[in-house]
Amino acid sequence: MLPRFKKLINTKNIIEVGGDTAEEPLSPVARLFHGKGLNCPIMYALGSKTLIDVDAVKSGLIHTFLKHPRFSSLLVTDEKNGGQMSWRRTKVDIHKHIYTPEMDPNMESPDMYVEDYISNLTSTGLDLAKPLWELHVLNVKTSDANATALLKLHHSIGDGTSFISLLLASSRKASDLESMPSLPKTRRSTNLRNNRIGFWGLIFTTSTIILTVFNTFLDILHLSATFFFLKDTDTPIKGVPENVALSRKRIVHRIVSLHDIELVKHAMNTTVNDVLLGITMAALSRYLNGKYAPISDGSEKGQDTTSKKFNHLPPNIRLRSAFAVNIRSPPGISSLAGMMEKGSKVKWGNRFSFVLVPITIALLDDPLDYVRKAKAIVDRKKLSFEAIFYYFLGRVLLNLFGLEITSAGLYKIISKTTMLFSNIVGPQEEISFYGHHLSYIAPSVYGHPHALTTHWQSYGEKMILVLTIDPDVIPDYNNLCVDFESSLKLIKDAVTQN
């Protein structure tokens, strides 16, 4: 464990912190996460390479996470004032937030035990009588870790970028416990930053502005059409929204090589995000082709779900993803104190929006075409203010019409899409969290009307794929995981053979 935490473990007066009764209104986006059909908790699975020292974790949380107002505040609702919601600072008893269930060290399947435990957590809410977070420590060895910590918190506390910033500000490099982790440098798009001068520079800038305005206009029309009538095709991965939002989920992860993804990225001159979206398109095409195959067809058993010879996909499948977009400037890692100061470059909270992204469902001859199609879609979305428009539209509607109407409208749009896609950038190197070397970081979210949510989380030399599944809609979710792994291999092999 880290020395600065060790000496505090047995100090009784560190258990309760806070006490300031000042209230702070919830941000507009935070309020939306308490709307009907959008009440979304976040689950972070943190795999540890060693057994977890619970006392060290408690001490570490007190001196990092609990110093942040969101982790030491109650959610209060003023019914006399139109249901206005606020954060109220309170004293926190750390013992009431940490759970350490007793486990049989000789259990038959530790991996299934952890998966079942996570699934059970998705069927229970967070206690409103205390700050909206809890940590479950499972000291049992699984395939990917020697112990697992499950951090469950409400999305109104903050988004994935906020949490990753706080996690890394509270950690150190596993290889150097005196140094803070670092995020990969974000490559700025060069489309708008070419060193063009003179007449042609003016033409380029003008055409880019016109194209951006035009794309934004089309995206707003697309949003309007989705609100009124446009919905995705009913496929084996699209559930009934009102059933899916409240159902118990299965959350599973797979660890793949970040080097394989970067190999494709450099070979095709794309971004990591393009590659991940391309893999997702390929995997869903492969999976759905198998689901549509007749029982007697060999492709149902996975013999060949990529060849057009065994193409069972219906024509013109409309399948879209709500694609989460961070609207901050690239964050970097600041100190914990710096994150909480006004004017900090790392903005806490829910500062993200989404765009509607079409997912290509087809059997393509060249696996690299999935990445090319993904890149074309993402490049077009970059030349649009769609995400910014949605973000501010939600704020305006919330102020004009209130939570109930605004959340119902947003739910109506999201429920007509099939899935959610998110990609969060993690540290370049593996980290030590309160003295525990983490083997993986696996984020997920649930409570929204999708039967499938795809999260990608980079971590050192790994990329973690996390699928949040409604098992009533997708009972063979492990097959879907295999399709993701197989699709990455096909795309990587296609690059190396060219």
Which tokens is 61 given?
Answer: 């949380």
Residue 385 class from Cβ within 10 Å (0-12 exposed, 13-18 middle, 19+ buried)?
middle
Element (H, E) at 154: strand 147-154
Q: Report how far residue 335's alpha carbon sits from residue 149's, in angstroms, rounded to the nearest whole number.
A: 23
| 436 flagged as catalytic | no
Please state, in angstroms and as integers, the Cα–Cα distance from residue 128 to each residue in 76, 134, 165, 174, 323, following that order.
8, 12, 25, 35, 30
Radius of gyration of the chain (CA): 23
Please state, in angstroms and as integers, the Cα–Cα distance from residue 441 to each residue in 77, 224, 462, following that order.
33, 37, 10
DSSP helix/strand/coil, 167: helix
Distance separating the N- and C-terminal Cα atoms of the chain: 48
DSSP helix/strand/coil, 441: strand
Identified catalytic residue from 154, 155, 253, 450? 155
CA 4 to chain centre: 31
Of the CA atoms within 13 Å of residue 430, those in its CB half-sphere come to: 17
Q: What are phi and psi of 99, to 5 degrees?
A: -120, 130
Please state, in angstroms and as integers, the Cα–Cα distance from residue 407 to each residue in 30, 113, 114, 388, following that order.
11, 35, 33, 18
**What is the DSSP annotation of 208-237?**
HHHHHHHHHHHHHHHHHHHHHT------TT
For residue 308, how many other CB atoms are within 10 A of its CB?
12
State the helix-helix crossing angle for 386-414 and 198-228, rounded to 10 degrees. 10
Question: What are the residue numbers of the active site?
Answer: 155
